[in-house]
Amino acid sequence: VWLQAALNGARAEGVRAGDVLSSCLPTYQSAAWVENVFRARVTGAPCAMDPRFSASEFWERCRFYGATMTFTLGAMHIFLWQAPERPDDADNPVRVASAIPMPAVLEEPFKKRFGIETVLGGYGQSEAMSLFSRGAGRAWKPNCLGLPQPGVELTLLDDEDREVGPGETGELCVRP
């Protein structure tokens, strides 16, 4: 499941020759493994790992590693956004930033301020990994989760475990 999620993410996010993955996530968090360690294993891209997240050091660490792809969770990217602006904010090698969840109103200003080509989102959970991904190279509606990933069965069920149609209320059920 984790290797499939790493492959799906690499494909959706457009990992290419010369990319350097960067992680500041704790290694008890599954995203550190799927988005960075296992993705590096399945693509051959180098992966730089910092022992902690620091809003004041994040961009300097990206420059140090030559990181072209980053992944932040929760409030990490909000802390980056709220940090005082600096003249060198956009002077970094990051090409793709996965920021989950990134408020739709901040996506374009974040890209502009930090000189990032693509900000991606998605939805997943530790026990089933990446379920939806907003891959690179496409315009997405604000707050869209993306498309279901290969190798994952998704269905929306009602209280009696019957499939529901579009616009109906249900529970998202997953099977890798």
Residue 136: its pLDDT value, please?
66
List 81's β-bridge partners, or say none. none
- Answer yes or no: are the C-beta atoms of 4 and 151 closer than 8 Å: yes
What pLDDT sits at residue 129? 66
- Residue-wise pLDDT tens digits, 51-92: 999 999 999 999 999 999 999 998 999 999 999 999 999 999
Angle at 132 between CA 30 and CA 106, to 5 degrees: 90
47-49 and 96-100: which strand pairing? unpaired
Secondary element (H or E) of residue 125? strand 122-125
Structure tokens at 104: 């739709």
Q: What is the mean pLDDT of the chain?
A: 89
Assign 151 a pLDDT band (cuts: 50, 70, 90): confident
Provide the whole-model pTM.
Answer: 0.82
